Amino acid sequence: MTWEILTIIGTIAFALSGVIVAMEEDYDLMGVYILGLVTAFGGGAIRNLLVGLPISALWEQGHLFTIALIVMTIAFFFPKLWVTKWMKWGLIFDALGLAAFAIQGALYATSMGHSLSAIIVAAMLTGTGGGMIRDVLAGRKPIFLRNEIYIVWAMLAGIVIGLELVTGTVGIMILFVVIVVLRMLSVYMRWSLPHRTLSQ
């Protein structure tokens, strides 16, 4: 039940994130739907692919498709409900999606009996995969390669779950909240990682 809610939150959040990018790029109605669906379901598709689940398991999530379509339709036709504040809401939703899908990816890989390093990679790919496809299709530099701490939080979810530092519903919920908060803090506090440029 808890997990179901997390999945729904993540799907809605990433769908809205795709809608926002599509509207910024002046796509038409179909472009908005496509980019929203790709963002919402792309991470799960990549995760299924990489951890060895059939990708076709996606199609069993009929209710998630329906929810995503409803949310995207509302967002497209009634932008005044939320556009003026989207910067703020967009970041929060994106953080929710990142946390939910990173944890999901790590749990899937764990249940498949993979090694710690594989669990970490699965968490990173699931949490960031949808956004990666979205940005590549829109011709943008992928958000997880930009200079703000992003994928580290997905990695952290993988480490915590892979080492079984948290278990059970309550532990996972706490982990989820912690990752969302860390992501938001890294935006507002402008945390960044070391760089090293090749000067030639």
The residues that touch a copy of itself, with contacts defined as CB under 8 A, are: 20, 22-32, 34-35, 37, 45, 49-52, 54-56, 58-59, 62, 65-66, 76-77, 79, 83, 86, 109, 112, 114-115, 117-118, 121, 124, 132, 136-139, 141-142, 144-147, 149-152, 155, 192-198
Nearest CA-CA partner of 42 in 17, 24, 66? 17
Q: In terms of CB distance, is 112 or 174 closer to a copy of itself?
A: 112
Q: How far apart are alpha carbons 131 and 143 in whole angstroms?
A: 7
CB of 198 to a copy of itself, least distance (A): 5
CB of 170 to a copy of itself, least distance (A): 29
Q: How far apart are alpha carbons 19 and 79 in whole angstroms?
A: 11
Q: In terms of CB distance, is 1 or 199 closer to a copy of itself?
A: 199
Residue 91 CA to chain centroid, in angstroms?
A: 11
CB of 108 to a copy of itself, least distance (A): 11
Q: How far apart are alpha carbons 150 and 135 in whole angstroms?
A: 15
CB of 164 to a copy of itself, least distance (A): 18
CB 172 within 8 A of CB 103: yes
Q: How far apart are alpha carbons 48 and 108 in whole angstroms?
A: 9
Both tokens of 171, joined, read: 């532990």
Q: In terms of CB distance, is 141 or 168 closer to a copy of itself?
A: 141
Q: How far apart are alpha carbons 14 and 74 in whole angstroms?
A: 15
Q: In terms of CB distance, is 79 or 171 closer to a copy of itself?
A: 79
CB of 11 to a copy of itself, least distance (A): 14
